[in-house]
Chain A
């Protein structure tokens, strides 16, 4: 599905809408270059899980940031993963990402192209169309057994 965002607020809302449909074990892979709106989208998802938007900052530095979210009144760990600084697949084997993905929590991965394919994940691709216009393509919602957005 393709969506058009006219600014950070709309990108945030897209993330929020997707976030409302996520549950335990879901993995969302984000693709798109610097400044495309990935972190803003993550803030939207987090907000849908009851995590204050302000708490979510860039995870480039620590690579994995862990928060506690809520889905249907049950707490769910929320993992914000940012692979911006990582080069090559060889490195990824050893940072323990597999311990987070698809387990008890919800994982959102920025710069997911550095990870290769993640089975059963939802993928979101951001394309910069103009200075404040982004095309957001969401794939993989059907395979995970949920309705379209």
Chain B
């Protein structure tokens, strides 16, 4: 059974053909990074316009690489939220048009649900580094979704059986990366830049605060961002605007990157570990853009090994936004006859 997945929730236009909810026949992602880089972040209007330009070519390529055509699809699945409303609209309108004109069933998928199901894709197991579990996880499992827009822990007992254990009370982890990168003049996106520099820095150089928020599984990264700002101020001895802080020597920048990253990773890993323990669950999955972070992957693997947990981490390309995960989740909707109507509208704020 072939499902075409479409994801245009943020700044990547993606289309993918997935067989039976797990085998990826194609997964095309057209990144807009170059367009948004010069603005230091995603500009929604530019993102929507680029989606309009790219949606046809990307879908076309996804079908061609999968050696299939629209008539052979069982369904078209589209991400309808959460995300940037203008971007979501492009994907939803496109999917609805295709389904309407071709008489193909339409399936709507929550972006977060897509991330949860990225671990079910075949490539979610065997391709990853040693030490990670292979194949699809069995229920129940703990899922850490961590990206520029989300930082949440879920307990997943089955399809449609998701329990949010906690989430960020302020900034998402990826957002903290972007904001700190901006403070350090490292540009956008901040994650890969900080990750790279962190390798050369000392993670114990600066003792940035870890907000463990004992008592629940919520996260908070806003204080960490402010702590980095305060540290920079003291170092530079200035109350000047952010741009003035970028005159640091490169060794210090590397140490700040390493120390900041360590603070983020410590909290994410510990809270995931606590969640597994508290819920008495032996399996953990992770997805979202920050799931591509090398330090997080390494430390989660260590934690899992020590605690005897099974860890499922998709390869980096399936952690960041992609349409294969949308098609993977859509498979479960489709086989349970959960079909969307033509009145489907995207929603920017859409809790799972």
Chain A residues at the B interface, C-beta cutoff of 8 Å: 33-35, 39-40, 53-54, 57-58, 60-66, 84-87, 91, 94-95, 128, 131
Residues of A within 8 A of B229 (CB): 34-35
Contact B43 A61 (CB under 8 A): no
A-B contact pairs, 7 of them (CB 8 A): A58-B170, A58-B171, A62-B149, A62-B348, A65-B349, A66-B348, A86-B44
Q: Give A29 to B241 CA distance when docked, in angstroms.
A: 20
Which residue of B has the minimal Cβ distance to A67? Answer: B349
Contacts A58-B222, A62-B349 given; indicate if A34 touches B86 (C-beta within 8 A): no
Contact B242–A60 (Cβ < 8 Å): no
Q: Find chain A residues with CB under 8 A from B169 CB.
A: 53-54, 57
Please name 8 further chain A to chain B contacts, defined as beta carbons within 8 Å, in addition to the given A40-B170, A95-B45, sorted by A numbering: A33-B242, A39-B222, A58-B171, A61-B175, A65-B348, A66-B348, A86-B44, A87-B40
Looking at the complex, which one of A35, A54, A84, A85 makes contact with B226 (CB distance below 8 Å)? A35
- B230:A131 contact, CB within 8 angstroms: yes
Could you mark each residue 130-156 of chain B with 1 if its beta carbon is under 8 Å from any beta carbon of chain A, else 0? 000000000000000000110000000
Cβ–Cβ contact A34 & B44, under 8 A: no
| Identity of the chain A residue whose Cβ is nearest the Cβ of B174 in the assembled complex | A61
A91, B45: Cβ atoms closer than 8 Å: yes
A62-B83, A95-B86 as given contacts; A57 in contact with B168, CB under 8 Å:
yes
Residues of A within 8 A of B179 (CB): 34
How many residues of chain B are within 8 Å of chain A by beta carbon? 35
B160-184 residues with Cβ-Cβ distance < 8 A to A are: 167-172, 175, 179, 183
Looking at the assembled complex, report how far the CB atom of A138 sits from the nearest CB atom of chain B, in whole angstroms.
22
Q: What's the Cα separation between A87 and B38 when bound, in Å?
A: 10
B324 at the interface (CB under 8 A from A): no
> Does any Cβ of A come within 8 Å of B42's Cβ?
yes
Complex Cα distance, B84 from A94, in Å, reads 13
- Measured CB to CB, the nearest residue on chain A to B167 is A57
Question: Chain B contacts of A63 at CB under 8 A?
Answer: 44, 84
Check A85 against B41 for contact (C-beta < 8 Å): yes
Q: Which residues of B contact A53 (CB under 8 A)?
A: 169
Contact A34–B226 (Cβ < 8 Å): yes
Q: Which chain A residue shows the least CB distance to B230?
A: A131
The answer to whether B230 touches A60 (Cβ under 8 A) is: no
Whether the Cβ atoms of B242 and A34 lie closer than 8 Å is: yes
Contact B241–A33 (Cβ < 8 Å): yes
- Asked whether any CB of chain A lies closer than 8 Å to the CB of B254, the reply is no
- Closest Cβ of chain A: how far from B256's Cβ, in Å? 15
Instruction: Provide the bound-state CA to CA distance between A57 and B183, in Å.
Output: 21
Closest to B219 in A: A57
When the two chains form their complex, are residues B230 and A58 in contact, meaning their CB atoms are under 8 A apart?
no
- In the complex the two chains form, is A58's CB within 8 Å of B42's CB? no
Indicate whether B283 reaches chain A with its CB closer than 8 angstroms. no
B321 is an interface residue with CB less than 8 A from chain A: no
B82 within 8 A of A: yes
- The answer on a CB contact under 8 Å between B43 and A34 is no
CA distance A84 to B169 in the complex (A): 18
Distance in angstroms from A95 CB to nearest chain B CB is 6
B218 at the interface (CB under 8 A from A): yes
Q: Are B225 and A35 in contact (CB under 8 A)?
A: yes
Q: Which B53-83 residues have a C-beta within 8 angstroms of A?
A: 82-83
- Checking A57, A66, A95 against B44 with a beta-carbon cut-off of 8 angstroms, the contacting residue is A95
A42 CA / B167 CA spacing, docked (Å): 18
Q: What separation, in Å, do the CA atoms of A63 and B348 have in the docked complex?
A: 9
State in angstroms the CA–CA spacing of A46 and B97 once bound together.
39
> How far is A84 from B226 in the complex, measured between Cα atoms in Å?
15
- Distance between A140 CB and nearest chain B CB, rounded to angstroms: 24
A117 to B68, CA, bound (A): 53
Would you call A66 and B43 a contact (CB within 8 A)?
A: no
B239 within 8 A of A: yes
Given A58-B172, A61-B175, A91–B222 Cβ distance below 8 Å? no
Chain B nearest CB from A128 CB (Å) reads 7
